[in-house]
Structure 1
């Protein structure tokens, strides 16, 4: 079975659950309106959660806040 190329990864969709990730950076790209820093830059994600991201989506799409919360993501220091 072959991997999906990174070009087919939708950066607006959480690679863990498939729901919209509300990534501020992607919203800014789409609308041209400044969004400020994304919520995800303020938390630390667990290694377990990060390991659930398919290889082709790593560095291509943000995890959604719901998945981060369920996995116990903590505010970064």
Structure 2
């Protein structure tokens, strides 16, 4: 079972609080590149949020991010 609080890439707490009513979670204000979304393992898609650290790391250097997590698509 996928834990919705765990980033599908790094395995750390994603600190997402979007499911809390009237909460303005950081994940509502950051653009997640589609190129990163397609790299989420299929069994975790739409089940957990990517953490801010991974989103920013991907935006900074997508090739290095893909190599670090051994992702291929």
Q: Could you say whether these structures have the same fold, taking a TM-score greater than 0.5 normalized by the shorter chain as the test?
A: yes
Counterpart residue number, 2:28: 41
> Would you say the 8 A contact 2:4–2:47 is kept in 1?
yes
- Structure 2 unaligned spans of 5+: 61-73
2:9 to 5, 13, 16: 16
> Would you say the 8 A contact 2:18–2:28 is kept in 1?
no
Structure 1 stretches of 4+ with a deviation exceeding 6 A read: none
- The superposition leaves residues 15-73 of structure 1 with CA deviations (integer Å, 9 ceiling, x where unpaired) of 111111011135x4xxxxx6712111111111221112111111110000100111128
TM-score by length of 2: 0.69
- Structure 1 unaligned spans of 5+: 1-7, 29-33
Write 1 or 2 for the structure with the bigger share of strand.
1
Q: Which has the larger radius of gyration?
A: 1
Q: How many residue pairs are counted as aligned between the two chains? A: 60
